[in-house]
Copies of this chain bind each other. A is one copy, B any other.
Amino acid sequence: MKRLSAPPTPPPFGTDAVNVLRYILFAKTPMSAEGNGNGSSYARVILQQCLSARLMVQPATESEDAEYVQIGRGLIVYVCFLKGASETMIDKMVKSVLEARLSEPTDGGRLVSILDLPGDVMIIPQATLGGSLKGKVMQYHGNVQKDDGLRLYTQFVEKCEKTVAIANVKTGQNSIVRYGTYGNRQVFSTETNGPYTHYIEF
Protein backbone atom coordinates (compact mmCIF):
# COMPACT_ATOMS: atom_id res chain seq x y z
CA MET A 1 0.00 0.00 0.00
CA LYS A 2 2.99 2.28 0.42
CA ARG A 3 4.94 1.64 -2.74
CA LEU A 4 6.55 4.44 -4.71
CA SER A 5 6.81 6.51 -1.61
CA ALA A 6 9.58 8.59 -0.20
CA PRO A 7 10.85 7.30 3.16
CA PRO A 8 8.64 8.56 5.98
CA THR A 9 9.77 11.30 8.30
CA PRO A 10 11.59 9.82 11.29
CA PRO A 11 9.64 10.15 14.53
CA PRO A 12 10.23 13.15 16.77
CA PHE A 13 12.56 11.51 19.23
CA GLY A 14 16.12 11.55 20.40
CA THR A 15 17.02 8.35 22.16
CA ASP A 16 14.04 8.33 24.50
CA ALA A 17 12.44 4.90 24.20
CA VAL A 18 9.21 6.08 25.84
CA ASN A 19 8.71 8.71 23.18
CA VAL A 20 9.43 6.16 20.48
CA LEU A 21 6.89 3.77 21.89
CA ARG A 22 4.34 6.57 22.24
CA TYR A 23 4.93 7.47 18.61
CA ILE A 24 4.47 3.90 17.47
CA LEU A 25 1.37 3.33 19.56
CA PHE A 26 -0.46 6.54 18.78
CA ALA A 27 0.69 7.70 15.36
CA LYS A 28 -1.99 6.76 12.82
CA THR A 29 0.64 5.39 10.51
CA PRO A 30 4.38 5.91 10.44
CA MET A 31 3.81 8.31 7.54
CA SER A 32 0.99 10.37 8.97
CA ALA A 33 3.23 13.35 9.61
CA GLU A 34 3.66 14.02 5.92
CA GLY A 35 0.92 11.89 4.36
CA ASN A 36 -2.13 13.08 2.47
CA GLY A 37 -4.58 12.09 5.19
CA ASN A 38 -5.51 8.94 3.33
CA GLY A 39 -3.09 6.54 4.95
CA SER A 40 -0.50 7.54 2.37
CA SER A 41 -2.02 5.80 -0.56
CA TYR A 42 -1.84 7.77 -3.78
CA ALA A 43 -4.74 6.37 -5.73
CA ARG A 44 -7.93 4.48 -5.01
CA VAL A 45 -9.64 2.17 -7.45
CA ILE A 46 -12.91 0.30 -7.26
CA LEU A 47 -13.55 -2.54 -9.68
CA GLN A 48 -16.94 -4.01 -10.53
CA GLN A 49 -17.95 -6.65 -13.03
CA CYS A 50 -20.84 -5.83 -15.35
CA LEU A 51 -23.00 -7.29 -18.08
CA SER A 52 -23.46 -3.81 -19.50
CA ALA A 53 -22.84 -0.21 -18.46
CA ARG A 54 -23.74 3.18 -19.84
CA LEU A 55 -22.19 6.53 -18.97
CA MET A 56 -22.94 10.11 -19.95
CA VAL A 57 -19.84 11.84 -21.34
CA GLN A 58 -21.44 15.10 -22.45
CA PRO A 59 -24.50 16.66 -20.84
CA ALA A 60 -27.34 17.86 -23.02
CA THR A 61 -27.21 21.47 -24.22
CA GLU A 62 -30.00 23.60 -25.60
CA SER A 63 -29.24 22.44 -29.11
CA GLU A 64 -27.87 18.92 -28.58
CA ASP A 65 -28.80 15.76 -26.73
CA ALA A 66 -26.57 14.31 -24.06
CA GLU A 67 -23.86 11.94 -25.29
CA TYR A 68 -23.36 8.50 -23.79
CA VAL A 69 -20.84 5.70 -24.12
CA GLN A 70 -21.55 2.09 -23.29
CA ILE A 71 -19.88 -1.27 -22.90
CA GLY A 72 -21.04 -4.86 -22.81
CA ARG A 73 -19.75 -7.61 -20.53
CA GLY A 74 -16.72 -6.19 -18.77
CA LEU A 75 -15.09 -4.28 -15.97
CA ILE A 76 -16.06 -0.95 -14.43
CA VAL A 77 -13.06 0.95 -13.05
CA TYR A 78 -13.70 3.87 -10.69
CA VAL A 79 -10.48 5.79 -10.20
CA CYS A 80 -9.35 8.63 -7.94
CA PHE A 81 -5.87 10.11 -7.52
CA LEU A 82 -4.68 11.49 -4.20
CA LYS A 83 -1.99 13.97 -3.26
CA GLY A 84 1.45 12.63 -4.04
CA ALA A 85 0.24 10.59 -7.02
CA SER A 86 2.60 10.62 -9.97
CA GLU A 87 2.79 9.27 -13.48
CA THR A 88 5.32 6.64 -12.41
CA MET A 89 2.36 4.81 -10.81
CA ILE A 90 0.26 4.56 -13.94
CA ASP A 91 1.87 1.48 -15.53
CA LYS A 92 1.59 -0.49 -12.33
CA MET A 93 -2.00 0.59 -11.73
CA VAL A 94 -3.10 -0.37 -15.23
CA LYS A 95 -1.29 -3.71 -14.96
CA SER A 96 -2.98 -4.46 -11.63
CA VAL A 97 -6.43 -3.47 -12.84
CA LEU A 98 -6.32 -5.24 -16.20
CA GLU A 99 -4.39 -8.33 -15.11
CA ALA A 100 -6.10 -9.03 -11.80
CA ARG A 101 -7.98 -12.33 -12.08
CA LEU A 102 -11.45 -11.23 -11.10
CA SER A 103 -13.66 -12.11 -14.07
CA GLU A 104 -15.76 -15.24 -14.42
CA PRO A 105 -15.35 -16.97 -17.76
CA THR A 106 -18.53 -18.04 -19.53
CA ASP A 107 -17.67 -21.71 -18.99
CA GLY A 108 -17.58 -21.13 -15.23
CA GLY A 109 -13.93 -22.15 -14.84
CA ARG A 110 -11.21 -20.34 -12.87
CA LEU A 111 -11.35 -16.56 -12.68
CA VAL A 112 -9.38 -14.74 -15.37
CA SER A 113 -8.31 -11.17 -16.02
CA ILE A 114 -10.49 -8.83 -18.05
CA LEU A 115 -7.85 -9.06 -20.80
CA ASP A 116 -8.15 -12.84 -20.86
CA LEU A 117 -11.94 -12.93 -20.55
CA PRO A 118 -11.85 -10.93 -22.89
CA GLY A 119 -14.17 -8.11 -21.88
CA ASP A 120 -14.78 -4.40 -22.21
CA VAL A 121 -13.54 -1.73 -19.80
CA MET A 122 -15.34 1.38 -18.59
CA ILE A 123 -13.26 3.90 -16.66
CA ILE A 124 -15.05 6.43 -14.47
CA PRO A 125 -13.22 9.36 -12.83
CA GLN A 126 -14.51 9.51 -9.28
CA ALA A 127 -13.02 12.25 -7.14
CA THR A 128 -15.46 11.47 -4.33
CA LEU A 129 -13.51 8.25 -3.72
CA GLY A 130 -10.76 10.34 -2.15
CA GLY A 131 -13.10 11.47 0.61
CA SER A 132 -12.48 10.95 4.29
CA LEU A 133 -15.47 11.05 6.66
CA LYS A 134 -15.13 13.51 9.56
CA GLY A 135 -18.25 13.35 11.68
CA LYS A 136 -21.10 13.72 9.22
CA VAL A 137 -19.11 15.56 6.58
CA MET A 138 -16.91 14.12 3.86
CA GLN A 139 -13.64 15.95 3.38
CA TYR A 140 -11.52 15.81 0.24
CA HIS A 141 -8.28 17.36 1.48
CA GLY A 142 -6.38 14.26 0.34
CA ASN A 143 -7.40 14.63 -3.31
CA VAL A 144 -4.90 15.61 -5.94
CA GLN A 145 -5.17 19.07 -7.53
CA LYS A 146 -7.63 19.10 -10.39
CA ASP A 147 -5.14 19.69 -13.23
CA ASP A 148 -2.81 16.98 -11.92
CA GLY A 149 -5.82 14.69 -11.58
CA LEU A 150 -6.80 15.29 -15.19
CA ARG A 151 -3.26 14.61 -16.40
CA LEU A 152 -2.99 11.36 -14.43
CA TYR A 153 -6.51 10.28 -15.42
CA THR A 154 -5.69 10.89 -19.09
CA GLN A 155 -2.50 8.84 -18.81
CA PHE A 156 -4.38 6.06 -17.05
CA VAL A 157 -7.04 5.95 -19.78
CA GLU A 158 -4.47 6.00 -22.58
CA LYS A 159 -2.45 3.20 -21.01
CA CYS A 160 -5.60 1.11 -20.59
CA GLU A 161 -6.52 1.71 -24.24
CA LYS A 162 -3.05 0.66 -25.41
CA THR A 163 -3.03 -2.44 -23.22
CA VAL A 164 -6.46 -3.57 -24.40
CA ALA A 165 -5.50 -2.89 -28.03
CA ILE A 166 -2.45 -5.16 -27.66
CA ALA A 167 -4.59 -7.84 -26.00
CA ASN A 168 -7.12 -7.57 -28.85
CA VAL A 169 -4.40 -8.44 -31.34
CA LYS A 170 -3.57 -11.55 -29.31
CA THR A 171 -7.15 -12.71 -28.68
CA GLY A 172 -8.56 -11.67 -32.05
CA GLN A 173 -11.42 -10.01 -30.15
CA ASN A 174 -12.49 -6.40 -30.29
CA SER A 175 -12.85 -5.41 -26.64
CA ILE A 176 -13.43 -1.72 -26.12
CA VAL A 177 -12.37 0.86 -23.54
CA ARG A 178 -14.81 3.65 -22.78
CA TYR A 179 -14.33 6.40 -20.20
CA GLY A 180 -16.00 9.29 -18.49
CA THR A 181 -15.21 12.97 -18.88
CA TYR A 182 -13.04 14.19 -16.02
CA GLY A 183 -14.86 16.72 -13.85
CA ASN A 184 -18.34 15.87 -15.19
CA ARG A 185 -21.28 14.44 -13.32
CA GLN A 186 -20.97 10.73 -14.07
CA VAL A 187 -24.56 9.88 -14.97
CA PHE A 188 -24.31 6.13 -15.01
CA SER A 189 -26.29 2.93 -15.13
CA THR A 190 -25.22 -0.70 -15.04
CA GLU A 191 -26.54 -4.20 -15.04
CA THR A 192 -24.54 -6.93 -13.33
CA ASN A 193 -24.66 -10.63 -12.71
CA GLY A 194 -22.94 -9.88 -9.41
CA PRO A 195 -20.66 -6.79 -9.22
CA TYR A 196 -17.99 -8.58 -7.14
CA THR A 197 -16.82 -5.18 -5.93
CA HIS A 198 -13.10 -4.88 -5.18
CA TYR A 199 -11.17 -2.01 -3.65
CA ILE A 200 -7.48 -1.42 -4.39
CA GLU A 201 -5.16 1.25 -3.05
CA PHE A 202 -1.93 2.22 -4.79
Contacts and interface: CB of A to CB of B under 8 A. Distances in A.
B198 A188 contact: no
A23 interface: yes
A172 interface: no
Given A46-B199, A197-B78, A197-B126, A136 B101 contact: yes
A24 B25 contact: no
A192 B196 contact: no
Given A44-B199, A188-B192, A191-B189, A101 B138 contact: yes
Nearest to A15: B17
Given A29-B29, A129-B198, A133-B198, 12 more contacts: A1-B28, A8-B25, A10-B21, A11-B24, A17-B20, A20-B20, A23-B24, A78-B195, A99-B136, A100-B137, A126-B196, A129-B197
